[in-house]
Amino acid sequence: MVTLSLVVPCFNEQESIPLFYKEAYEILKNLEQKSIYSEIIFVDDGSKDNTAKIIEEISQNDDRVHYIVFSRNFGKEAALLAGLQKATGLYVVTLDADLQDPPALIPQMLEPVMSGAFDCAGTRRVTRKGEPPIRSFFARMFYRIMGTLTDIEVVDGARDFRLMNRFYVNAILSLPERSRFSKGIFPWVGFRTKWFEYENIQRAAGETKWSFWKLFLYSLDGIIAFSTKPLAIASVLGVLLFLLSLGFIVFIVIRKSIWGDPVAGWASTACLILFCAGVQLFTTGILGAYLSKTYTEVKQRPYYVIRLEK
Ligand code: UDP
Ligand code: MG
């Protein structure tokens, strides 16, 4: 009987996985002495290197190790979902393969959840040491915007390193949406979360898969997935512009009746046309973003395709 499942998404992590397994192995051995039996589920998210082979080898020598290999790269969110669906443990912990989420914290995280005081143990990093300042700046901005635009509380610096009980996992799995923005889904399901804080840790080997642009698009996804307020912004802008135009009409009528002045005003007309066209395109863009999300949801494609599984 499995008590604890470790779900580990991996994308081109051939250097990290042996290091991760070595560290996790020791911790799981200690837990076993307390009759807490574990399984590790590696999800290979279509790696181009030897990740799949390494995972298979580990699994051959240790039957607590299971794996899913995707047919191509589907993204970390899909990998996490596949792992959660496969996990059989009463408790499930999701963590990165690069040791940025220290497995040594797992026993500590288990305590409040196993005792029933909390349903989930979450982690957040309190520093962003080793990260480019511009990225930290945009990250802060993102949490601010999320805070204003949505009703859920997205915790600043919260990582995907989480230990959850069965109720929590089932709640996550019950959300059917295709665009899976974990940072929003976790607070959306609610429950009682105990937070653990730690300093940012550099990855053990390999390099980050997140470019600035990828992160930017991901944050837009998050906003669209959890807020419809941008749509309201379009209407508000429309009303504001209408009121502004009323003021303008009064101004122009009065000026014309007092001074005449039939030809002047080319510059202001050009500015107005450009301004209005800009606002219209901006709001159409917002509409388009929601439409495209609706389109992907309606198609109901599977979240991922599995090439190998054990
Ligand atoms: N990952 C994944 N699919 C992807 C990108 C990343 O499964 O398309 C995994 C990756 O192997 C790692 C975790 O997600 O275990 C976090 O990725 P990374 O360390 O690159 O992100 P960072 O820690 O820099 O935010
Ligand atoms: Mg990392």
H or E segment and range at residue 79: helix 76-86
Around ligand 1, the residues with Cβ closer than 6 Å are 9-11, 13, 45, 73, 75-76, 79, 96-98, 100, 203, 208-210
pLDDT of residue 162: 94
Residue recorded with tokens 């511009």: 134
Residue 179: pLDDT band with limits 50, 70, 90: confident
Which of 61, 64, 69, 62 is CA-nearest to residue 11? 69
CA distance 67 to 130: 32
Lowest mean pLDDT among 61-70, 94-103, 256-265: 256-265
Above 90 in pLDDT, residue 48? yes
pLDDT of residue 303: 94
CA distance 60 to 62: 6
pLDDT of residue 265: 76
Measure 284 CA to ligand 1 centroid, in angstroms. Answer: 33
Over the stretch 266-310, which tens digit does the pLDDT of each residue have?
778 888 888 888 888 888 988 998 999 999 999 999 999 999 989
Residue 262: pLDDT band with limits 50, 70, 90: low
Both structure tokens of 150: 């949505």
Measure 100 CA to ligand 2 centroid, in angstroms. Answer: 5
CA distance 121 to 109: 6
Mutate to test the pocket of ligand 1, among 76, 100, 131, 212 (most ligand atoms within 8 A of CB): 76
Q: Whose CA is nearest to atom 12 of ligand 1?
A: 96
pLDDT of residue 106: 93
What CATH code would you report for 4-131+153-209+303-309? 3.90.550.10
Above 90 in pLDDT, residue 146? no
Which of 58, 52, 39, 57 is CA-nearest to residue 13? 52
Lowest mean pLDDT among 16-30, 119-133, 292-306: 119-133
Backbone angles phi, psi at 163, to 5 degrees: -115, 125
Both structure tokens of 59: 């699994």
Measure 205 CA to ligand 2 centroid, in angstroms. Answer: 9
Beta-carbon contacts of 262 under 8 Å, excluding residues fewer than 6 positions away, are 256
Q: Whose CA is nearest to atom 3 of ligand 1?
A: 76
Measure 95 CA to ligand 2 centroid, in angstroms. Answer: 10
Q: Whose CA is nearest to atom 22 of ligand 1?
A: 208
pLDDT of residue 18: 93
Above 90 in pLDDT, residue 51? yes
CA distance 298 to 135: 34
Measure 180 CA to ligand 1 centroid, in angstroms. Answer: 15
Q: Is 90 exposed, middle or buried (0-12, 13-18, 19+ CB in 10 A)?
A: middle
State the ligand closest to the CA atom of 159: 1
Which of 101, 99, 103 is CA-nearest to residue 4? 103
Average pLDDT, the chain: 89
State the ligand closest to the CA atom of 73: 1
> How many Cβ atoms are within 10 Å of 10's Cβ, its own excluded?
28
Above 90 in pLDDT, residue 135? no
> How do the domains of the chain map onto residue ranges?
4-131+153-209+303-309, 229-299
| The most confident of 86-100, 151-165, 225-239, by mean pLDDT | 86-100
Mutate to test the pocket of ligand 1, among 6, 7, 10, 11 (most ligand atoms within 8 A of CB): 11
* Whole-number percent of the chain with pLDDT over 90: 49
pLDDT of residue 115: 92
* Whole-number percent of the chain with pLDDT over 70: 99
Atom of ligand 1 nearest to the CA of 13: 11
Once rounded to an integer, what is the mean pLDDT over residues 244-269? 81
What is the pTM assigned to this prediction? 0.83
pLDDT of residue 68: 96
